[in-house]
Amino acid sequence: MSWSAFAADDMTDMGDESSIETGLVEIDGAAETDSKSSMMRQISPVAGYQALSVAGQDIDAAYLEESLGERHGAIVLFHDQGEAFESSLITPLRHQLAEHGWSTLTLTFDLPFEPNVMLSASLDKEAMSAEGDETDDVDASDEEAEAQATEDANGDVNDDVIDNSAMKADLPPVPNLERIEAALAMLQAKGIKQVIFLGHGNDAEVAIDLLDSQTLPVEGLILVGLSDVDVDDDFKGLKIPVLEVYGTQDLPGVAMAIKQRKSSMKRVAKPNYTIRQILGANHVFYGLEPMLLMTVRSWLKATFIEPGRE
């Protein structure tokens, strides 16, 4: 395969967009695989799991210490909208970057979740049958009346009982700023001085928004599959090195948005702005995760480990 000859040292050009030929065929069924991965995550232990305590709440997080013996820094990974803090894109990255000297931290962020819920035909028929059964309706009404009477009878006893679980559920979501501040404080306590943000999809924009409010300096930004973002307000002012990675089969609008950002960066002559395109890759780089890892590693090496090396 042509991508096997690709080396991390081959990508030191920091200004031009380049495409990476993979020689692989994109495999259909990524959505089904993502669904299976999501179910597996719910029943499998998460490597490095350690909840962050923020504003009295536990935030899911996972930290992996680098295993190379040469600590280059830490990568904080921002998951995409609708994804858990472990995903088909984030999980391979956080494990494999740790093997190459980069400690990794991934945590959950407060993003709108839009699940796709579909009822089976058999369940739908059962529901329609139940709606048409008058006897069932009468029985249900009687049961509701009984339940209400029992609740009223026990009302005086239960008035003084406090439901702690309900109170916990009513707590407002922890703001993303507080989440990332707790994450960076944890990294600082571990003696990590160089931190890179890596954001996927919509959460890449969250990573950009949080950059200006950090007390611990963030040295670099990696954006994977980011579509629209306010270039004038959020992007032009970035002084740190930026890598953008996307696939030719990415979500609609991603390629055009990156083209517009590239033009904007040229107008302001921003240094250290790099674009890498991976041929055949979709939004989650299904089947091409090794190419994404290699692209990220190459940029990290050229920018932070061996800067200036030709």
Of 69, 61, 127, 129, which is closest to residue 102 (Cα–Cα)? 69
Beta strands 102-107 and 61-64 are: antiparallel
**Tens digits of pLDDT across the chain (310 residues):** 334 333 334 444 444 556 654 434 333 444 444 444 443 344 447 899 999 999 889 999 999 999 999 999 999 999 887 666 788 899 999 999 999 999 999 998 887 654 433 333 333 444 444 444 444 443 444 555 455 544 554 444 344 433 444 444 567 889 989 999 999 999 999 999 899 999 998 888 889 888 877 666 799 999 999 987 766 566 777 889 999 999 999 999 999 999 988 988 888 888 899 999 999 999 999 999 999 999 999 999 999 999 876 4
Name which of 248, 262, 272, 292 is nearest 75 in CA terms: 292
- Identify whether the C-beta of residue 282 lies closer than 8 Å to the C-beta of residue 26: yes
106, HSE (Cβ side, Cα atoms, 13 Å): 28
Closest CA relative to residue 307, chosen from 220, 190, 245: 220
Rg (CA), the chain: 24
**CATH number, span 2-112+175-305:** 3.40.50.1820
User: 65-102 as b/e, with b when 16 or more CB fall inside 10 Å?
Assistant: ebeeeebbbbbbbbbbebbbbbbbbbbebbebbbebbb
